[in-house]
Structure 1
Amino acid sequence: MQRCKNGMKLDDLRALIAIAQHGSFRAAANALDIPPATLSRRLQRLEDTLGSQLVIRDSRNVALTPLGQNYFERCQPLLDELQATTSELMDTSSSNPRGALRISAPVGLLTYQLMPLFNQFLALYPEVTLSLNHLSNQHHDYSQEQYDVVFRVGQQPNSSFAAAKIGESQRTLVASPEYLAQYGIPHHPDELNHHSRLATVPEFEWALTCKTDVAHPETIWINSPVRMAIADLNSVKQAAISGLGIACLPNYVVADALEKSTLTTMMDDWYSPPRPIYMLYQRLGYVPNHITCFIDFMRNALTGT
């Protein structure tokens, strides 16, 4: 446990900074990966050390006292510099990348594209550890205190992360041969309204654009009721293989089923506009060597650059 000369523990100062940055005890505890009770105990210990109240708590809100705000504003850059210097010295003391990677990614992208590359990277760098405890494609669930690198599909909101486009997710309409033999093969998007649709959450609406009319491409939205909606891409794929309906899934998810002919495509003159795949990472300050190495490895593996 790091301790300042006056007996104050740096973890206690990190507790105050996390509370100030996140505005609630629960969010700050999640960011530090500690129980809320531990966070509260560290803050109380810091207040006892300083002999002053730093945070005003009630049942709904958390706010810094004037002294707490002043202390936070003066100490945060000092702690950031200390952490950056420590990481930099640790990097230069070893010729091999070493350290912990905290990753967030959508489960489908992880399963079909990212996980084999993660395995390769860890095999190359045995002193790097990787934790992936949040599988989601939500855009509002990440911060630099929680994750080093975040993978997401779709346009990204502005954030403190840098966004590198590493690919595209092209979706394809698929169904089992048995389903199409029983219910018929649709040839126009309007016909999909009369079929059982299997949707991924939250992609309940499908946009299909005509390939043949280049000058004035027509896009039709399909928003008929769905028979099944699941947040997991692989589960939707298995439902389609079982003959429950038509799904619109990323190519990388259905490639093996198409090769085995357990799924087949349709409406080749129509396509679903591709969605970008981004790798998000810290853009400011010192970035530890093992994180930079991982970012470069993934960019090269996925884009060849």
Structure 2
Amino acid sequence: MKPELLRNVAVFVEVAKARSFTKAATALDLPKSTVSRRIRELERDVGLRLLKRSTRIVQLTEEGMNYFASCRALLEGLEATHDELLSARHRVQGHLRVAIPTSFALRLIDNLPAFAAKHPELHMDFDFTMRPVDPISENCDIAICFGEPADSGLTARKLADIPMYVYASPAYLAAHGEPAAPADLSAHTCVLGTRIDHVGNQGVWRLRSGRRRAEVVVGGTMSFNSVGIIRHVVQAGGGLAILPEELCRQDVREGRLVRVLDDWSAPPVSAYALTATRLMPAKTRAFLDFVSANL
């Protein structure tokens, strides 16, 4: 559709409603000559006379009446859609689709009911996944991922840098001893994450303490793509693992896990929220603010 067609239709509808070029010009804040010219352009485009003009009154032709009914409904629908979008910009409502790793969702789950109660017109649909999700091709409002996102044209908002440490269960340490230095890890069974650089059942753990750096080849018989599952396996005595501090904090307090190599840490993992654009409706902005406030 040519832009001038929609513009001329809007002028025609205003003239038809007012039955006056002068009143329509006032309502549209246009010169009367401009209103007349746009009506002539529209009649030329459709090839029909739409209005009967006289010095005192403007009347619709039969074709003009039919055209007016259709165009008025079209413009009212367009205006309603525009108002709905403006409402979505400022009102938290509708359907929000979020792709999120399970381990990250666990950091939010306790406060999620309060967020839902605050926004009763919002329905949230969560997809728990570790795989990369493209918000555009997969019809997703927000995709939360770990690690630096690829340069894909998406909008990336950094949410947090998550501290990572080495943990084990008290039972495992009682049976196998506690490593005193990073090099000792190579003699232990380690539970690996599939995002760690590894080949087969061996992985490379990179640790740091101040300016010191250590790179240790570790081995294990199990690899998982879920940090939550790795945590449970470690709790059950399955070996040592690099895990997020936040996820393990309560386990350490309650004696289910022990942080080993206290002076050493793995590189923090960055969490990002990916969206299709920076122009986000209120529902998306509200959820991202909720996530940031609860990390």
Bin for the TM-score computed over the shorter chain: 0.5 to 0.7
The Cα shift of 1:237 comes to 1.6
Answer whether contact 2:165 2:243 (CA < 8 A) is retained: yes
Give the distance between the partners of 1:281 and 1:84, measured in 2 at CA: 27
Give the distance between the partners of 2:213 and 2:88, measured in 1 at CA: 59
Give the distance between the partners of 1:115 and 1:154, measured in 2 at CA: 22
For the residue of structure 2 that corresponds to 1:130, the secondary structure is strand
1:178 aligned onto 2:171: yes
The Cα shift of 1:198 comes to 1.0
User: Kindly tell me: are residues 295 and 243 of structure 1, through their superposed partners in 2, closer, same or farther at Cα, counting changes over 3 Å?
Assistant: closer
When Rg is computed on C-alpha atoms for both structures, the one with the higher figure is: 2
1:189 aligned partner: 182
* Aligned mate of 2:237, from 243, 255, 259: 243
Give the distance between the partners of 2:78 and 2:272, measured in 1 at CA: 27
TM-score by length of 2: 0.64
The Cα shift of 1:291 comes to 2.2
Letter in 2 for 1:86: T
User: Kindly tell me: are residues 262 and 83 of structure 1, through their superposed partners in 2, closer, same or farther at Cα, counting changes over 3 Å?
Assistant: farther
1:125 aligned onto 2:123: no
1:211 aligned onto 2:205: no
Give the distance between the partners of 2:277 and 2:97, measured in 1 at CA: 16
Answer whether contact 1:91 1:289 (CA < 8 A) is retained: no
The Cα shift of 1:260 comes to 0.8
TM-score by length of 1: 0.62
Aligned-residue CA RMSD in angstroms? 2.7
The Cα shift of 1:151 comes to 0.9
For the residue of structure 2 that corresponds to 1:152, the secondary structure is strand
> Mean alpha-carbon deviation: is it higher for 228-237 or for 247-256?
228-237
The Cα shift of 1:108 comes to 0.8
User: Kindly tell me: are residues 209 and 233 of structure 1, through their superposed partners in 2, closer, same or farther at Cα, counting changes over 3 Å?
Assistant: closer
Could you list the runs of 5+ residues in structure 1 that have no partner in the other structure? 1-81
The Cα shift of 1:157 comes to 0.7
Answer whether contact 1:151 1:278 (CA < 8 A) is retained: yes
* Aligned mate of 2:220, from 226, 229, 234: 226
The Cα shift of 1:243 comes to 1.6
The Cα shift of 1:245 comes to 1.2
For the residue of structure 1 that corresponds to 2:262, the secondary structure is coil
Answer whether contact 1:178 1:243 (CA < 8 A) is retained: yes
> Mean alpha-carbon deviation: is it higher for 84-93 or for 94-103?
84-93
Letter in 2 for 1:288: P
Answer whether contact 2:135 2:276 (CA < 8 A) is retained: no
Answer whether contact 1:153 1:169 (CA < 8 A) is retained: no
1:263 aligned onto 2:269: no
> Mean alpha-carbon deviation: is it higher for 87-96 or for 242-251?
87-96
The Cα shift of 1:85 comes to 8.3
Tell me the alpha carbon deviations over residues 25-55 of structure 1, each in whole angstroms, 9 at most, x when there is no partner: xxxxxxxxxxxxxxxxxxxxxxxxxxxxxxx
Letter in 1 for 2:231: K
Q: How many residues align?
A: 213
For the residue of structure 1 that corresponds to 2:247, the secondary structure is helix
2:276 aligned partner: 282
User: Kindly tell me: are residues 288 and 87 of structure 1, through their superposed partners in 2, closer, same or farther at Cα, counting changes over 3 Å?
Assistant: farther
1:142 aligned onto 2:134: yes
The Cα shift of 1:94 comes to 10
Could you list the runs of 5+ residues in structure 2 that have no partner in the other structure? 1-76
User: Kindly tell me: are residues 94 and 261 of structure 1, through their superposed partners in 2, closer, same or farther at Cα, counting changes over 3 Å?
Assistant: closer
Answer whether contact 2:90 2:281 (CA < 8 A) is retained: no
Letter in 1 for 2:252: L
How does 1:1-305 map onto structure 2 within 5 Å?
86=81, 89-92=84-87, 96-111=91-106, 113-132=107-126, 134-139=127-132, 141-145=133-137, 146-203=139-196, 204=198, 205-212=203-210, 214=211, 217-220=212-215, 222-284=216-278, 286-302=279-295
The Cα shift of 1:300 comes to 4.0
Give the distance between the partners of 2:173 and 2:281, measured in 1 at CA: 53
Give the distance between the partners of 1:256 and 1:225, measured in 2 at CA: 27
User: Kindly tell me: are residues 262 and 279 of structure 1, through their superposed partners in 2, closer, same or farther at Cα, counting changes over 3 Å?
Assistant: same
Answer whether contact 1:170 1:250 (CA < 8 A) is retained: yes
Letter in 1 for 2:101: P
Answer whether contact 1:189 1:208 (CA < 8 A) is retained: no
User: Kindly tell me: are residues 208 and 127 of structure 1, through their superposed partners in 2, closer, same or farther at Cα, counting changes over 3 Å?
Assistant: same
The Cα shift of 1:87 comes to 6.7
Tell me the alpha carbon deviations over residues 54-92 of structure 1, each in whole angstroms, 9 at most, x when there is no partner: xxxxxxxxxxxxxxxxxxxxxxxxxxxx99983752543
Identity within the alignment, %: 21
Tell me the alpha carbon deviations over residues 223-256 of structure 1, each in whole angstroms, 9 at most, x when there is no partner: 3331221222222222212222111111122112
Answer whether contact 1:161 1:282 (CA < 8 A) is retained: yes
